[in-house]
Structure 1
Amino acid sequence: MVGVEGVRRWWQELTGLVLPAECGGCGRARTVLCPACRAALGGTAPRRVRPLPEPPGLPAVHAAARYADEVRAVLLAHKERGALALARPLGAALAGAVWVGLGWGEGEGPPPPGHVLLVPVPSAPQAVRARGHDPARRIALAAAGELRRAGASVRVAAVLRQRRVVADQSGLNSRQRLENLVGALTVVPGGARVLCGGSVVLVDDLVTTGASLAEAARAVRAAVAAEWRAAGDVMWTERDEGAAAVYGGVTREGRGVRRSGAREGGAGRVPAGPVGVAAGGDVVCAAVVAAPPDSFEINRN
């Protein structure tokens, strides 16, 4: 027979599994994320960030927070320590970066019409097995929920996969990371058709050198280019190791593309209709939760 003390210990263990033991950022007891750490994560407006050096083919990237102190602790707690309850506040921060990156302003008024696809950069299969979850995908799902509640038409399209084993990125410099990842990602069969159903935003929890996002952009561009070439809708040229759209005069009915200029601080308005390209002619933009502080300070044309 279990005594009162045994029941109390059992209940404490059970609640420890359900409720957070401490804040993911500072360690304050019994809270998913304390107000101070929540403010550090999402208290400032998302901004355009640029790694230095900037890898070829990197799309416009917007980040919600600087990767330091409490924000770094929160991301590591979610990714490496399985603090899955942090996915929701991380998703809210990512949603803000997506919103600004698409040129929807600071959140005032309803979002423009058009479908948006959040495409998470996948973790290596062995990392997913070790962690028990894919952090970028989980955060992307939380961000999609936030954006839908704000009135946007958004869904997650987890169509990227690694097609070869890559080395651990930690300890590699920017050039080594680019070489390690080149050609590593591909779009799953049938994924290109999905990507042509909306404006594509690559999402991840963190950008450092930009190598992962650049490779993801290359894979998406190649898949979308092949899909549009097969449909006879678009001509493509190669530039900066990524495909750039050069639109022809032939389009399928209902699939015409209205070009709109990109601007600093946003990728421009999303074109109306399911065209599969971001405004300004690029097939993708990107949004992340966090970026190194020095990448926020770089503001070059």
Structure 2
Amino acid sequence: MDASTDLRGALQDALALVFPVRCAGCDADDVALCEACALALRPQVTRRIVAGVEVVSGLTFDGVPARVIRSLKHDGRTGLARALAPALRAAADDARSAILVPVPTSRASFRRRGFHVAELVARRCGLRVERLLRATRATADQRGLDQGARRRNVEGSLVARRAAGRRVLVLDDVVTTGATLAEAVRALRAGGADVIGAVCIAATPRKRDAIETPR
């Protein structure tokens, strides 16, 4: 998967020389990411508590960062992963002492994209990722669901394997209500892992930190 993702990125870079390209952050012509938008991706670390663990995010999911992440996720512009890597690296200070465990991508999303967003950015950071979580059932798209509905949607949907005695950080691309991260924490703890926290590329804006736990 790594080789195919890298090949896809190289092909996109080559096509950009032939076909017009727009800045992922502001739609400026003839540049994948303009200087001003690149500056807007400088890490701005935020923290919140989810399921009793600290979640550290490198960016706020708003404005330019949100547009760039959406362009990576939904338009397949994998070259943008390198621009997002410093933000994830800033959030993952504890990664050297723990394994990064990604929240699984749904099969439909993986078929559509061909890559795992957070894992791709983690690789651009040189961070080690190990898949210790798997889905036990399909879940609905979380978009448009309120906090309670999101919790119910993902409750019991993940299970951990080979996790006993492992020191781990949960990895995801964007934290919104924290419902998915909370389910990942629950599953890893049930599998015997020592969950020391979670890291994300970005977090949605919040007026205050909140404690969110699964039902």
What TM-score results when the alignment is normalised by the length of structure 2?
0.82
- Unaligned ranges ≥5, structure 2: 1-12
Are positions 1:64 and 2:58 aligned together? yes
Letter in 1 for 2:132: V
| Residue equivalent to 2:90 | 96
| 1:175/1:35 CA distance change after superposition, 3 Å | same
Give the Cα separation in 2 of the matches to 1:19 and 1:123. 31
Structure-2 residue corresponding to 1:265? none
CA–CA separation in structure 2 for the residues paired with 1:176 and 1:299: 17
In the TM superposition, what is the alpha-carbon distance from 1:139 to its structure 2 partner? 1.7
Residue 192 of structure 2 is aligned to residue 215 of structure 1 = no
Judge conservation of contact 1:160–1:187 (CA < 8 Å) in 2: yes
> Following superposition of structure 1 onto structure 2, how do residues 111-260 of structure 1 map, counting pairs within 5 Å?
115-143=97-125, 145=126, 154-188=127-161, 191-192=162-163, 196=166, 199-224=167-192
CA gap 1:96/1:14 in 2 versus in 1, 3 angstroms: closer
Cα drift, residue 43 of structure 1: 4.4
Kept in 2, the 8 Å contact 1:91–1:142? The answer is yes
| Aligned-residue identity in percent | 36
CA distance in 1, matches of 2:117, 2:155: 22
Taking a change above 3 Å as real, the CA distance of residues 162 and 19 of structure 1, as seen in their structure-2 partners, is farther
Secondary structure (helix, strand or coil) at the match of 1:155 reads: coil
Pick closer, same or farther for the CA change 1:140–1:43 going to 2, 3 Å. Answer: closer
Determine the C-alpha separation between the residues in 1 that align with 2:86 and 2:48.
Answer: 19
**Per-residue Cα deviation, 1:230-271 (whole angstroms, up to 9, x for no partner):** xxxxxxxxxxxxxxxxxxxxxxxxxxxxxxxxxxxxxxxxxx
Question: Partners of 1:25 and 1:87 in 2: how far apart?
Answer: 13
Q: Distance in 2 between matches of 1:18 and 1:160?
A: 41
Residues 200-240 of structure 1: CA deviation (Å, up to 9, x unaligned)? 11111100000010001111111125xxxxxxxxxxxxxxx
Deviation at 1:33, TM superposition (A): 2.4
Q: Which amino acid aligns with 1:125?
A: R
Q: Tell me if structure 2 keeps the 8 A contact 1:49–1:62.
A: yes
Q: What is the rounded CA distance, in whole Å, between the counterparts of 2:20 and 2:171 in structure 1? A: 26
Change (3 A) 1:184 1:205: same
Contact 2:154 2:179 survives alignment (8 Å): yes
Amino acid at match of 1:171: G
Say yes or no: does 1:42 pair with 2:36: no
Residue in 2 that maps onto 1:247: none
Q: Which amino acid aligns with 2:38?
A: R
Gaps of 5+ in 1: 1-12, 103-110, 146-153, 226-276, 278-282
Indicate conservation of the 8 Å contact 2:57/2:199, yes or no. Answer: yes
In the other structure, the counterpart of 2:197 is 285
Paired with 1:19 and 1:156, the residues of 2 have a C-alpha distance of 34
Corresponding residue for residue 22 of structure 1 = 22
* Deviations 1:12-31 (CA, angstroms, capped at 9, x unpaired): x9532799822221122343
Q: Specify whether residues 164 and 66 from structure 1 end up closer, same or farther in structure 2 by C-alpha distance, changes over 3 A only.
A: same
Q: What SS does structure 2 have at the residue aligned with 1:91?
A: helix
Greater displacement, 134-143 / 174-183: 134-143
Name the stretch that deviates more: 170-179 or 154-163. Answer: 154-163
Distance 1:38 1:185 in 2: 35
Query: Which SS does the other structure have where 1:192 is aligned?
Result: coil
Q: Does the CA contact (< 8 Å) of 2:118 and 2:201 recur in 1?
A: no
In 2, distance between residues paired with 1:96 and 1:87?
14
Query: How much has 1:37 moved relative to structure 2?
Result: 1.7
Could you list the per-position Cα deviations for residues 9-67 of structure 1 after superposition, in whole angstroms to 9, with x for gaps in the alignment? Answer: xxxx95327998222211223433222222222243x12135xxx6xx25211111111
> 8 Å contact 2:160–2:187 — kept in the other structure?
yes
Of 78, 81, 88, the residue aligned with 1:87 is: 81
- In structure 2, give the amino acid aligned to 1:36: A
Contact 2:170 2:181 in 1 (8 A): yes
Give the CA RMSD over aligned residues: 2.6
